[in-house]
C-alpha cells in the first residue's frame, strides 16, 4: 500500500514527542514526514526528518501534535507559512476548544479538520489497526469525510465522525474518569501486587497506560474539556453518597451488633 | 488425578449459590460433594447432591460458602453435628472477623482454616488454574499448610499463606477500591461504549466482573474488613485534593486567560 518515496506528498509534523513519533511511524508509508520540535533530537530509525518550523508549516498536510494549551500560540506561529489549500489537522484530546481556535486563527485559504486518536504509545504498542479515532469537521464536512476515509482504509482505524461537542461530551466520561481515577490510585502507591483479583488487575492495567501521560495531557482532559467538571462533580457526588451509605451502615452495625444473614443463603467471594 | 467415586471422601458444602456451585465443580473430582442450601434447587449437571444441614455438617470436610454476615449463625447451627477431627473452612472475602468467629464458635475437636479464593464465577469462567487464593491459619499452621498444598498441587492455584490481618490489610485496597470505584461507575450508567480508549475499557472490564456480585459481598468487603474504612478515607482525601487542584486551576485559568505552552513542545493524546 505504501507509495515510492518520490511520489509521497510532504507532511509537516509540528511537535515530535512520544505521540508525534508514533504519528510519523504510521504515516511515513504514505507521506514524507518533516517534523519540527525544538525539544527533539534525531534518533536512529526515525520515521521523520527534523526541520525548521517554516518548512514543516509549508507542507500540503500539516499535523499539530502539540499540547492543547499551546495550540493558539502554534497556530499564530505557523499561519504565515501555510500554503493555499493545505490541510491542517490537530490530534488533541479535546475538540471543542481546538476546533474554535483553528476556525478563528487559520487563514481562510486552508482546510482544517480536528482529530483525536483514542490511543497513545502504550495502547498502540502492538500496532494501531482496530484502534479508534474521532474525526471532527471544523470547516465543512467534505474534507473531514476524506480524512475519515483515509483513517479507515489506509490506517485500518475504527473511525467516529462526530461534532466536537459530541466528542467532548463522551471524552469527558471516557478520559476524564479514567485519568482522574488513575491519578488518585497513582498517588496511593505502593499498591498491592500479590493477592490481587482479576478485576483489580484490569484497573491497574488502565493505571499503567495512563502513568506516563504528561501532566499537559491530564490538564487538557480535565480542564480544557467543557464537560469534564460536570462529570467530575457527578462522580464525586455519587462517591460521597456511597461513602455515606457505608459509614452509616458501619455506625448502625456498631450500635446494634453485626447483621445476621439467613442461614444457608448463598454467598460468593468477589471476582 | 481424580479418584473413583467410592474412594472420594465426603465434603459438606454449606451454601450453594453462585460461588458454592463453582466450588462444587472444582472439588468434585476429589470429593463427593453434599451441598446444603434452603434457597437452592437441583439443576442438571450439578456437581453436588443437595442434602439437609446435619448431613452436610457431619462430613469430614465442611466448606462454609455463606455470606460473611451470616457466618456466626451458620457456625452455631452446624456445631452439634460436626465430627471429631473434621476440617472446617470458610471462603469469605474478609478473614480477621471470620477467623475470630470460627475460633470462638467451633468445638475444640475440629480443625479449622480460613480461605479466600481471589476469584468468582466471572473471573473463573475459563478455569481456575493460575488464579489466586489466600489461606489463613486459624488454629495451628500445620493444617493450613496442608490445605495450601492441596490448593497448589490439586487445584493449580497460586497460594498465599498469610495471617488474617495481612490478608485483610491487602484486600482492603485490592477489593475495597475495586468495588468502591465499580459501584460508583455502575451508578453513572449508561456509560459511553463508542469512542472508548483501551484504558477505559480495562476499567469497564473490572466493573463488569463486579456487576453481578451480591450486595452482601460488597457489604463484607467494605464493612467487615477492619482496614476498609481507612483505605476509603485515604482514597477520598486524595480524590478531594485532585479535585481541588483541578478546580483551582480552572479558576486561575478563567481569571488570567488560557495557559500558553511553549511552541513546539511535544504533546500526546492519552492512552
Q: pLDDT, tens digit, for every residue of A187-214?
A: 999 999 999 999 999 999 999 999 988 8
Range B193-201 average pLDDT: 96
Q: Are A37 and A66 contacting, i.e. CB atoms less than 8 angstroms apart? A: no
Note the pLDDT tens digit of each residue in B217-247: 999 999 999 999 999 999 999 998 988 888 8
Share of chain B above pLDDT 70, in %: 89
- Which residues are CB-contacts of A254 (< 8 A; sequence separation ≥ 6)? none
The closest alpha carbon to A269, from B159, B257, B132, belongs to B132
Strands (E), chain A: 10-14, 32-36, 49-50, 61-64, 87-90, 111-117, 132-137, 158-161
User: What radius of gyration do chain A's Cα atoms show?
Assistant: 23
Residue with cell 470458610: B90
Q: Quick check: A248 pLDDT over 80?
A: no
Alpha-carbon distance of B219 to A9, in angstroms, equals: 61
What is the pairing mode between strands B87-90 and B111-117? parallel
The closest alpha carbon to B190, from B176, B210, B204, B209, belongs to B204
Q: Quick check: A267 pLDDT over 80?
A: no
Residue B33 binned pLDDT confidence (cut-offs 50, 70, 90): very high
Q: How far is B166 from chain A (nearest CA, A)?
A: 10
Q: Are A181 and B183 contacting, i.e. CB atoms less than 8 angstroms apart? A: no
Task: Tell which CATH architecture fits domain B8-163.
Answer: 3-Layer(aba) Sandwich (3.40)
The closest alpha carbon to A11, from A154, A145, A119, A121, belongs to A154
CB contact under 8 Å between A200 and B175, yes or no, is yes
Range A218-244 average pLDDT: 93
Residue B263 binned pLDDT confidence (cut-offs 50, 70, 90): very low
What's residue A271's pLDDT? 41
In CATH, what number does A5-163 get?
3.40.50.720
The closest alpha carbon to A101, from A131, A72, A124, A127, belongs to A72
Q: What percent of the residues of chain A are helix, what percent strand, and what percent coil, each to the nearest 5?
A: 50, 15, 40
Q: In chain B, which ranges are continuous DSSP H helix?
A: 18-27, 53-57, 71-78, 96-105, 141-153, 164-187, 198-211, 215-219, 228-256
What's residue A250's pLDDT? 59
Task: Identify the DSSP state of B157.
Answer: -
Half-sphere exposure of B159 (CA within 13 A, CB side): 20
Mean pLDDT of chain A: 90
Q: How far is B6 from chain A (nearest CA, A)?
A: 28
Is residue B162 classed as helix, strand or coil in its secondary structure? coil
Range B132-157 average pLDDT: 97
CA dihedral B221, A232, A166, B178 (to 10 degrees): -20
State which residue of chain B sits closest to A91, comparing Cα positions.
B269
Note the pLDDT tens digit of each residue in B153-172: 999 999 999 999 999 999 99
Choose among A221, A235, A243: nearest Cβ to B188.
A235
Residue B212 binned pLDDT confidence (cut-offs 50, 70, 90): confident
Share of chain B above pLDDT 90, in %: 81
Residues of chain A with Cβ-Cβ distance to B171 below 8 Å are 195
Q: What percent of the residues of chain B are helix, what percent strand, and what percent coil, each to the nearest 5?
A: 50, 15, 35
Q: Quick check: B262 pLDDT over 80?
A: no
Note the pLDDT tens digit of each residue in B173-191: 999 999 999 999 999 999 9
Residue A50 binned pLDDT confidence (cut-offs 50, 70, 90): very high
Alpha-carbon distance of B246 to A223, in angstroms, equals: 7
Residue B2 binned pLDDT confidence (cut-offs 50, 70, 90): low
Q: How far is A45 from chain B (nearest CA, A)?
A: 19
Task: Return the ∠ at Cα B56 (arms to B55 and B58), rounded to 5°.
Answer: 65
The grid cell for B51 is 442434602
Residue A2 binned pLDDT confidence (cut-offs 50, 70, 90): low
Is residue B100 classed as helix, strand or coil in its secondary structure? helix
Q: How far is A91 from chain B (nearest CA, A)?
A: 7
Q: ipTM for the complex?
A: 0.88
Range A12-19 average pLDDT: 96
Alpha-carbon distance of A247 to A239, in angstroms, equals: 12
What's residue B7's pLDDT? 85
Q: Which of A197, A206, A233, A249 to mutate to test the interface with B (most CBs of B within 10 A)?
A: A197
User: What radius of gyration do chain B's Cα atoms show?
Assistant: 23
What's residue A243's pLDDT? 87
What's residue A264's pLDDT? 35
At A136, give phi and psi (nearest 5°).
-120, 120
Residue with cell 490445605: B147
What is the pairing mode between strands B132-137 and B111-117? antiparallel
CB contact under 8 Å between A200 and B192, yes or no, is no
Q: Which of A78, A198, A254, A271 to mutate to test the interface with B (most CBs of B within 10 A)?
A: A271
What's residue B48's pLDDT? 97
What's residue A213's pLDDT? 87
CB contact under 8 Å between A266 and B66, yes or no, is yes
What are the residue ranges spanned by the domains of chain B? 8-163, 167-243
Q: Is the peptide bond before A190 cis (omega within 30 degrees of 0)?
A: yes
Residue B249 binned pLDDT confidence (cut-offs 50, 70, 90): low
Note the pLDDT tens digit of each residue in B72-91: 999 999 999 999 999 999 99
Task: Identify the DSSP state of B80.
Answer: G
Amino acid at each position: 500500500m505504501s507509495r515510492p518515496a518520490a511520489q509521497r506528498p510532504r507532511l509537516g509534523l509540528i511537535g515530535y514527542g512520544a505521540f508525534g513519533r508514533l504519528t510519523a511511524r504510521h504515516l511515513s508509508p504514505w507521506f514524507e514526514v518533516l517534523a519540527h520540535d525544538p525539544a527533539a533530537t534525531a534518533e536512529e530509525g526515525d520515521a521523520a526528518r527534523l526541520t525548521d518550523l517554516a518548512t514543516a508549516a509549508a507542507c500540503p498536510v500539516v499535523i499539530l501534535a502539540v499540547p492543547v494549551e499551546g495550540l493558539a500560540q502554534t497556530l499564530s506561529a505557523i499561519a504565515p507559512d501555510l500554503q493555499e489549500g493545505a490541510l491542517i489537522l490537530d490530534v488533541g484530546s479535546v475538540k471543542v476548544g481546538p476546533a474554535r481556535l483553528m476556525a478563528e486563527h487559520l487563514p481562510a485559504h486552508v482546510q482544517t479538520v480536528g482529530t483525536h486518536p483514542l490511543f497513545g504509545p502504550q495502547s498502540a504498542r502492538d500496532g494501531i489497526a482496530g484502534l479508534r479515532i474521532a474525526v471532527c469537521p471544523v470547516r465543512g464536512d467534505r474534507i473531514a469525510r476524506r480524512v475519515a476515509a483515509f483513517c479507515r482504509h489506509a490506517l485500518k482505524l475504527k473511525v467516529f465522525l462526530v461534532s466536537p461537542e459530541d466528542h467532548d461530551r463522551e471524552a469527558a466520561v471516557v478520559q476524564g474518569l479514567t485519568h482522574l481515577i488513575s491519578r488518585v490510585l497513582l498517588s496511593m502507591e505502593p499498591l498491592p501486587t500479590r493477592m490481587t483479583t482479576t478485576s483489580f488487575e484490569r484497573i491497574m492495567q488502565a493505571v499503567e497506560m495512563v502513568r506516563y501521560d504528561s501532566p499537559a495531557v491530564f490538564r487538557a482532559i480535565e480542564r480544557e474539556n467543557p464537560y469534564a467538571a460536570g462529570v467530575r462533580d457527578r462522580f464525586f457526588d455519587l462517591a460521597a453518597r456511597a461513602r455515606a451509605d457505608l459509614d452509616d451502615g458501619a455506625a448502625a452495625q456498631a450500635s446494634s451488633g453485626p447483621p445476621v444473614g439467613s442461614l444457608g443463603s448463598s454467598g460468593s467471594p468477589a471476582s
